[in-house]
Amino acid sequence: MGVTTVFRGDGNYLLGSLSRECAFEQYPQALHESVLAVLTEIKERNGWRPGDTVRIVCHTSEPMRDRELGRLMAECVAAIGGEQNVEFAFMTVGDRQPFAMLDTGQRGKEVLGQLRGIYAPERGTIVQITPNQRLLAITGPSLIQRRGAPLPRQLHLRLHSASTFRDMEYLSEQVLKFTSLSWRSTRPARRPVTIYYSELMADLLARLRAVPDWSPALLNTRLKYSRWFL
């Protein structure tokens, strides 16, 4: 079962949606169905007009195959973008990468007489790896809570080559802003809420399976627009 969360560009949470349960080999088709259903609903809800420019930015923790993404983009444009100018960006956002960002000029921040975050880049520091890849520092020295904590890992942002919107500066800053929008805490999250909220939903769904007569259909009806997972 897949979880999709939808936000406006300004960070407002719109809805959460579950795809149907399926075998692994059927997941691409289930994903297509879920994304098309969500975009169709958003189009009707927001009243998209002919000639509007619509930018669709997808965040995922795992990369998609070129063939799957190309098909998904084509179906989205055909189904919901016939009268609109659709821009599409597909971003893989993860913290598992062979890179590390250090700031040798960072002497740390003093907290209760102790220095923390030596060599840790400030939050919001962005380093270009390739034209389509960036490293983004989410946790700066002032956000490190424990003395002796390891240096925080940065997020690895990778833009899929099939994307039609390719402004990596804009997309990287958007990911950074989305780490500050969690209603779970006053501190920034380690991942953007576009991914973090889906992970929270998936974790709770796994627990709810043990509840007698529980049906995930509730999440696509009465709880669809609620932040029930917080």
- pLDDT attached to residue 14: 74
Does some domain include residue 72? Answer: yes
Q: What length is written for the chain?
A: 230
Q: How confident is the model at residue 131 (pLDDT cuts 50, 70, 90)?
A: very high
Q: Please give the tally of structural domains in the chain.
A: 1
Containing domain of residue 80, as a range?
A: 3-93+156-220
Question: Where does 126-210 have alpha helices with state H?
Answer: 168-178, 193-208
Highest mean pLDDT among 39-43, 127-131, 158-162 belongs to: 127-131
Beta bridge partners of 88: 56
pLDDT tens digits along 85-108: 888 898 999 988 888 899 999 888
Q: How far apart are CA 135 and CA 101, in angstroms?
A: 8
Does some domain include residue 130? Answer: no
Neighbouring residues of 212: CB distance < 8 A, sequence distance ≥ 6: none
Q: How far apart are CA 2 and CA 87, in angstroms?
A: 24
**Taking the mean position of all CA atoms in its chain, how far away is CA 98?**
21
> How far is it between the farthest Cα atoms of the chain?
61
Cα separation of the two ends of the chain: 20
Does some domain include residue 206? Answer: yes
Does some domain include residue 228? Answer: no
Q: Token pair for residue 113?
A: 């007489």
Pairing between strand 133-136 and 155-159?
A: antiparallel
CATH code of 38's domain: 3.30.420.10
Question: Where does 3-107 have alpha helices with state H?
Answer: 27-46, 66-80
What is the rounded (10 degree) CA torsion for 121, 126, 127, 128? Answer: 170
Q: What is the DSSP letter of 199?
A: H
**Minimal CA–CA distance to 122: which of 145, 106, 99, 98?**
106
- pLDDT attached to residue 146: 75
- pLDDT attached to residue 225: 64
The mean per-residue pLDDT over the stretch 43-53 comes to 85
Does some domain include residue 140? Answer: no
Q: Token pair for residue 58?
A: 């997808």
Does some domain include residue 122? Answer: no
Single pTM value for the model: 0.83
Q: How confident is the model at residue 223 (pLDDT cuts 50, 70, 90)?
A: low
pLDDT tens digits along 199-214: 888 788 778 778 887 7
